[in-house]
Structure 1
């Protein structure tokens, strides 16, 4: 029995007409980004993993992380008030495919409320081959993949490291793994009729002369269009001192690459919780008045804050949402301190622990040494040393966070 795929493809093409990112004349339509994906499996040299900034507009920032149920509830509120809403997108603040269960449930819940809404997601592509069939089954019609190099050597300069199947890779090896997965995933979903956009961060001195080659390669693999965007030099990142690409340089590159493939000229590099049209982000109207936080706790018992940072083999993770404290999960870590001599020799283990709790605003411990406290501070994670019952300690911490 043959399957007629013409009808689904026509439906996707129709949806593209009302997708503001894929169609420059669709500016009257609104989109909603749901920030349900905090974890990431790739560390880019231009990316900051702090996403609690309410006043900054760039990819990867959000005022809160939502559960799937909260995403559905917020969608219903937005849908009621934003009549031109046509698209729900998942663009982080981490990578959707590193948080696939949360992403899947969010889409399923929203689809129950609004079956005709268009779904899209943005990914680094590392896990795309693993979830491509699931993406198709979920009815996601548009996928954006960020591909910053089609040469593993160049990719190795863009990525600090990748975490692939539980193991970290860096340099050219990381560039090779992620490139193979990006391109094979792009080919597959394109063959399935999904409209694919490729984002390319143009980084002076790293991949700027390489961009046309990227465009040609992704065209071969089925990309519908590319979106060349400028590097945003963010303090605290490896590329913080690199020069930004100006608008003239950017548009000249887009025009050059337009000869090979359709280009996006109207990108606004949106937040992970953006709502509204591309020209008018109204997400502030839908934010809760209270700040939301994620807090890691070092505890022997799960009752009190009673354990030294260096002795922790697991952290209890709590979310503070609208002032309510909710236990989220336990995260295992390899404790780095088994005695004075070992602590001195195992300082590199601190970095692994920080990666495990990097989406947290603060960590509560009984005590902590100078080195972990210093590294946590540099990573943007506040550390509070105290002995207290967990909920009481979190309440005190939230007050301190809100007052500083």
Structure 2
């Protein structure tokens, strides 16, 4: 009766092909979720793979493997490889303060009514997002196209495009097709805005991280990064600020297909993108 998630680390040339078989095996044994994550192989981490020059996968290699396993079982797409087991500040481990015995002895003030009220708000937001997406997907019903593209989204959460480009530390990635908008992962990036000024070196790393995307949806973006993104072939989209992600992405994609159909633009295949090395961390682990 316990839900089980299986973690696998993708190592190109070692287990990338075999993980498809692993995926089938863990599903047959009742696993609920499979998380295939990229190898962290930067030499500075001192691991065997890092010291022997074994590379990690690219963004498209990871996505292709996850896509090939998706039909077998639920795939976890939102893993940030974070220190989810850590307690306290980095360098100040507080795990001994929260042992099982100590937690069991704690008095917990459980606010049931407050929790129910919060759940009601979350459910209301969820229904609104689902309905908005459903309405927009319906507009694609009679459009025949095999085109699939990726789009990056700057968001603080709540399913909204509500983050300034320069303030984003990561982007959510969606695959857009005539089936709708499908979340396929995260891309962590260096912060572009530093003390009110844009960091051009950081912008280069952002572009490399979302290089396989045709567009990036933001709440706001400055003139300089907008120009550089366009030069890199990535369209900055700020017209859907503070609107639902999936509804907005589908609306933009429909317009994209119409431009391709009319000959206004030519559909191109984007290149690959980099996955930033290292586990996700912040001031607090």
Indicate whether the TM-score tops 0.5: no
TM-score by length of 1: 0.30
TM-score for both structures, normalised by structure 2: 0.42
